[in-house]
Structure 1
């Protein structure tokens, strides 16, 4: 291959590394950074620039380690915990206010203040000491809940941690729900709902719960 082709190859690696640093989602960042640093390793190896070869090899190893760890944690209910919180609690209000613009994209009709007469149950999804998502369910009667909000911070969105609320946590049955329903809109991730155990029922998605 010509030097021009090698130069283009090197520039692609550099661009990927730079663009990766602009990604909000952890998984996207790690994959782009891994690919970019792999290309950079090969480019510097071709030209025998050994300090940069060593640096990029180290970055490749670090990215591979974190990708392996992140994929394992995404399936581990011990990593993501579900904590019931008061719907009018100050910390929950802080989170909802801080991310209100992002939340509005996925739940445009959601309001941090429940409508009069509505009984809402709220749950924080936490990873360590960080709140990464919020699920809010209102009572519809007879043990049925309507999911008003199922939202996750952008950088954790690849891992769909909200599924732990429905699949591994007992938080919803302990709150008195035997079933939850959700009416999707254009931004709703249908594949996520399937993974979380929902099924379609006319215009709604339904998830039966077990204690």
Structure 2
């Protein structure tokens, strides 16, 4: 039996909700879930399935509420110097080793001369580590944020809105090499400019 467009519309709603559950970013999850629930609510109205319409409409409103709470909350950010041989630092690296290895090898990471904890509301939300030169250039080896904090807020705060945090550490220029397309997108979003050098994509930003 051939499906009509309303049935396909219902499948579309299911697909969008499914996609929302694959998102690592809580903001993206909320946005996609909102869209999926909105489509489902409309589907329920079109088909006369009012329990479906009411339930999904309510969930859509809940998503709006939590997105509003996320964006209105004034969070506190801070950079703290990190000792790479400290027990906590090594623990943080160990539990996130698989993802950190996508940016840099653990051996290379052990050779950095500058490392920071990126704090968000007094919680360690990521690490920024690399090699700082005397002229103020900081070559970033790893800029890693665990999944629950991966919403661009940390990078935007330190690299764009409040570069004074890094300047206070003697850093005036940032450079790093992109590791994949997602990394390129992130660096461009943070205001880095790209140069092709030695078959690698070098990104730089002056603070």
Q: Spell out structure 1 runs of 4+ moving beyond 6 A.
A: none
What CA distance in whole angstroms lies between the structure 1 residues aligned with 2:78 and 2:99? 22
1:124 to 2:117 alignment: yes
Structure 1 position 146 matched with structure 2 position 139:
yes
Change (3 A) 1:164 1:110: farther
| Shift in CA distance, 163/96, structure 1 to aligned 2, threshold 3 Å | farther
Indicate the SS of the match to 2:14.
helix
The two structures have a TM-score, normalised by structure 1, of: 0.76
- The residue number in structure 1 matching 2:169 is 175
Could you say what the CA RMSD is over the residues aligned between the two structures, in angstroms?
Answer: 3.0
Which runs of 5 or more structure 1 residues have no equivalent in the other structure? none
Gap runs ≥5 in structure 2: none
SS of 2:124 mapped into structure 1: strand
Change (3 A) 1:9 1:186: closer
Q: How many residues align?
A: 201
Q: Deviation string for 1:1-49 (max 9, x for gaps)?
A: x974322222321333234223322233122211211111012222333
Which of 72, 80, 104 is 1:108 aligned to?
104
Secondary structure at 1:177's aligned position in 2?
A: coil
